[in-house]
Structures are given as C-alpha cells and as structure tokens.
Amino acid sequence: MTVRFDDAAGDLLDLVERVPRERLDAPGLGEWTLRELIGHTSRAVSTVTDYLALPEPAEVTVHSASEYLEVVLRQRGDDEAIALRGRASAAALGDDPVPALTELVTAAIGAVAAAGPARRIAVGGGPDPVGMVLGEYLRTRVFELTVHGLDIADAAGLEWRPAPAHVLDALHLAAANASARDLGLEALRFLTGRRPDAGLDGVLAAGR
C-alpha cells in the first residue's frame, strides 16, 4: 500500500486552515482542547524533521510500522507525557496555528525529499532511540495524520475525507495492532458486523 507523507501533511494543513478560530479552545479529544489536539497532531510532522536531523543509526531495530505501533507506542508510551507534549506543541504553534504549521509541513517535506525513503532514522531521540527505515516511519506519521485528522474534523464539525490509500493503510495498521494485542478476533467481529451493539452492519452483512 502506497502512502504519501507529503500529501497527508498537506491535507492536515488544509483541514486546520478550515477550523474556525472560535472553536480552537473548545473540546477536542479526551482532555485536550481542539487547539491542543492540533498541537499533538503537528508532532506527526515536526518529529520527521527533528529525527532526520539526528545522526543516522547504524542498524534497524524496529522493522515495520506495525511493529512501531506495538513496541514504541504501546510498550513505551506514557499517556501523561504525551498529553503534556500536545499542550506544549499547541503553545508553540501560537494563537493562530496555521502559519507555524505551514512552516513545519514545508520543513518536513523538504527533509524527507532530501533523505530518501531508504535512509535509517533514529526514532525517539534520548538515550535509547530505535532505528527504523524512514519509509516505514513515515507510514506511522501518515497513520497519525489520518486518525487525528478525523478527530480534528469531528471536533470542529467539518467534513473531511483523507486519501483512500491512507485510510486503507491506517486500517491495516490498526488491525495488525489489534492482533498483536490478542484482540484480532474482536476487531474482526466488529468490522464484519458480528457486534450489532456497536451499530456497524459490517462488510459481510449481505451474506449473514
């Protein structure tokens, strides 16, 4: 499946440009305001530039986007730290997030074009980063941009449709993560309509 980080980052920027300024301090996602949700989502762009500025690691230790979601996010994630980083990123974007986000998107797209998809990248920084191939890391960024783009659109009351390839890859990664957490059967029941309480008919509804 082909995903394009530059397209996903540009789509996020287009979406944020449409967000009414008076909605920015309204509820966004969980404990975040919409402004803070946008700040958190901007890290799916800024981290690309930041990590490409680090020395290239000697080896790859996380080999796929799905492994990243399992190892880096679920096993190493810190919800409180993530929330604080989202708020800090929102503050860094300023009162109007569009100009600063535009700069982040331009810088990240340029850094990716200069590096090439086969370059290794040190993810996480700090004393214990993981090594990934840039192309696989970008899949995780497109996943974040797609999922949180939907969150932003929902919170702002906007219609937004990300690229079908990005939705498909996000579904693939979410399914792989569910399987890694031993929730694959429950996810399959949900997507095929075997959970009527969830309000989803499912892709096989006509054959039930």
The verdict on residue 202 lying in a domain is no
Tens of pLDDT, residue by residue, the chain (208 residues) = 688 999 999 999 999 999 999 999 999 998 899 999 999 999 999 999 999 999 999 999 999 999 998 877 665 556 777 888 889 998 999 999 999 999 999 999 999 999 988 999 999 877 778 899 999 999 999 999 999 999 999 999 999 999 999 999 999 999 998 888 888 898 888 888 776 665 555 444 433 3
The verdict on residue 152 lying in a domain is yes
The verdict on residue 207 lying in a domain is no
3-state secondary structure string, the chain?
Answer: CCCCHHHHHHHHHHHHHHCCHHHCCCEEECCEEHHHHHHHHHHHHHHHHHHHCCCCCCCCCCCCHHHHHHHHHHHCCCHHHHHHHHHHHHHHHCCCHHHHHHHHHHHHHHHHHHHCCCCEEEECCCCCCEEEEHHHHHHHHHHHHHHHHHHHHHHHCCCCCCCHHHHHHHHHHHHHHHHHCCCHHHHHHHHCCCCHHHCCCCCCHHHC
> Residue 69 belongs to a domain with what CATH number?
1.20.120
Domain span at residue 71? 5-193
Task: Tell me what pLDDT residue 175 has.
Answer: 92
The verdict on residue 51 lying in a domain is yes
Whether 114 and 53 have beta carbons less than 8 Å apart is answered as no
Task: Tell me what pLDDT residue 15 has.
Answer: 98
The verdict on residue 52 lying in a domain is yes
Number of domains in the chain: 1
The verdict on residue 11 lying in a domain is yes
The verdict on residue 173 lying in a domain is yes
The verdict on residue 200 lying in a domain is no
